[in-house]
């Protein structure tokens, strides 16, 4: 029977698919670490109180990248080049989501509007990351090889999501509510499209590596299409809703150390 558990177990058990999975994940986390580091360095003077939290966010992302690389080393595997069609962060940037790398490469202070856009973008992508980690914990949280890493990353993603909610609500209270809702909706609709595109590309690559028969590949593609249809119809609303989190000041301290894999 085809299920999310059996699908991920198949990917986990094969060195080639596991190598691709970890390489894609490590690349995305490293990119997020760099982006947050640059944003922290360029925060406008009026919002300097956010710089330590953005720095912590970037440090967590860097740590996640190291964790995925450590999982590869544990199997004696080297990372592979990430296929462009599976590069979630790059494709989001090309669609205008988040802050352009051209801007981050300059040594010019960002604007308050830039930081608002960054937080709104992060609220969307961290929701995606948190949801994915919840699913992985459900199936592999107790797995001897990857369980500890998954649990740590999931806790960090929950912190990142809580931080985005809290800071955006604070900015909304300062009069930016309409702008925040507009940016959130725009980001969510584009992110859903990119996630759909990347999901199909990753499954196509995995199918080739694992030799999936055409009916299985077609069934998985249909599942990805159905998720996309739901998110376009109603699921995007979850991504744009802001609620005060139970975890307050979730990024107020230093980043935790990566576990020994």
Q: Cα separation of 128 and 52, whole Å?
A: 24
- The pLDDT assigned to 258 comes to 67
- The pLDDT assigned to 252 comes to 86
- The pLDDT assigned to 13 comes to 95
The per-residue pLDDT for range 205-244, each reduced to its tens digit, is 999 999 999 999 999 999 999 999 999 999 999 999 999 9
For residue 50, the SS3 value is helix
Q: How far apart are the first and last CA of the chain?
A: 31
- The pLDDT assigned to 98 comes to 86
The per-residue pLDDT for range 103-135, each reduced to its tens digit, is 999 999 999 999 999 999 999 999 999 999 999
Nearest CA-CA partner of 135 in 16, 241, 8: 8
- The pLDDT assigned to 260 comes to 57
Match 């990353």 to its residue by tokens.
153
- The pLDDT assigned to 243 comes to 96
What is the dihedral sign for C-alpha 246, 251, 253, 255? positive
Mean pLDDT computed over 158-181: 97
Q: Cα separation of 18 and 23, whole Å?
A: 8
Q: Cα separation of 13 and 159, whole Å?
A: 30
Q: 4-240: what fold?
A: Ferritin (1.20.1260)
- The pLDDT assigned to 5 comes to 87
- The pLDDT assigned to 95 comes to 94
Nearest CA-CA partner of 29 in 56, 68, 55: 68
CA distances from 90 to 114, 128, 190, 208, 259 (A): 18, 16, 13, 23, 28
Question: CB neighbours of 225 closer than 8 A, spacing ≥ 6?
Answer: 196
pLDDT higher than 90, residue 255: no
Compute the C-alpha angle 113/119/120, nearest 5°.
Answer: 90
**Strand ranges (E), the chain:** none
Task: Kindly indicate the confidence band of residue 191, based on its pLDDT and cuts at 50, 70 and 90.
Answer: very high
Nearest CA-CA partner of 163 in 125, 190, 213: 125
- The pLDDT assigned to 21 comes to 97
Quick one: CA torsion of 9, 225, 149, 147, rounded to 10 degrees? -40
Percentage of the chain lying above the pLDDT 90 cut: 92
pLDDT higher than 70, residue 261: no
Do 261 and 67 meet the contact criterion of CB atoms below 8 Å apart? yes
Task: Kindly indicate the confidence band of residue 2, based on its pLDDT and cuts at 50, 70 and 90.
Answer: confident
For residue 87, the SS3 value is coil
Q: Cα separation of 132 and 147, whole Å?
A: 14
- The pLDDT assigned to 3 comes to 82
pLDDT higher than 90, residue 253: no
pLDDT higher than 70, residue 259: no
What is the dihedral sign for C-alpha 183, 157, 26, 14? negative
pTM of the model: 0.94
The per-residue pLDDT for range 17-76, each reduced to its tens digit, is 999 999 999 999 999 999 999 999 999 999 999 999 999 999 999 999 999 999 999 999
- The pLDDT assigned to 130 comes to 96
């Amino acid at each position: 029977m085809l299920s999310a558990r059996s699908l991920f177990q198949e990917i986990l058990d094969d060195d080639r698919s596991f190598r691709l999975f970890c390489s894609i994940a490590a690349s995305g986390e490293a990119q997020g670490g760099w982006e947050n580091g640059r944003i922290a360095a360029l925060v406008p003077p009026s919002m300097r109180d956010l710089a330590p939290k953005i720095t912590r966010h970037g440090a967590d992302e860097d740590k996640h990248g190291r964790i995925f690389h450590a999982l590869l080393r544990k199997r004696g595997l080297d990372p592979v080049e990430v296929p462009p069609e599976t590069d979630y962060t790059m494709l989001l940037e090309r669609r205008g989501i988040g802050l352009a790398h051209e801007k981050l490469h300059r040594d010019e202070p960002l604007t308050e509007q830039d930081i608002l856009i960054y937080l709104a973008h992060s609220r969307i992508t961290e929701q995606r990351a948190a949801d994915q980690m919840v699913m992985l914990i459900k199936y592999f949280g107790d797995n001897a090889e990857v369980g500890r890493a998954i649990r740590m990353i999931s806790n960090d993603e929950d912190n990142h999501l809580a931080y985005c909610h809290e800071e955006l609500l604070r900015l909304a209270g300062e009069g930016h509510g309409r702008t925040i809702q507009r940016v959130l909706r725009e980001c969510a609709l584009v992110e859903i499209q990119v996630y759909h595109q990347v999901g199909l590309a990753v499954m196509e690559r995995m199918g080739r590596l694992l030799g999936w028969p055409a009916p299985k590949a077609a069934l998985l593609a249909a599942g990805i299409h159905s998720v996309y249809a739901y998110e376009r119809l109603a699921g995007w609303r979850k991504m744009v809703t802001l609620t005060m989190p139970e975890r307050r000041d979730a990024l107020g301290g230093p980043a935790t150390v990566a576990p020994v894999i």
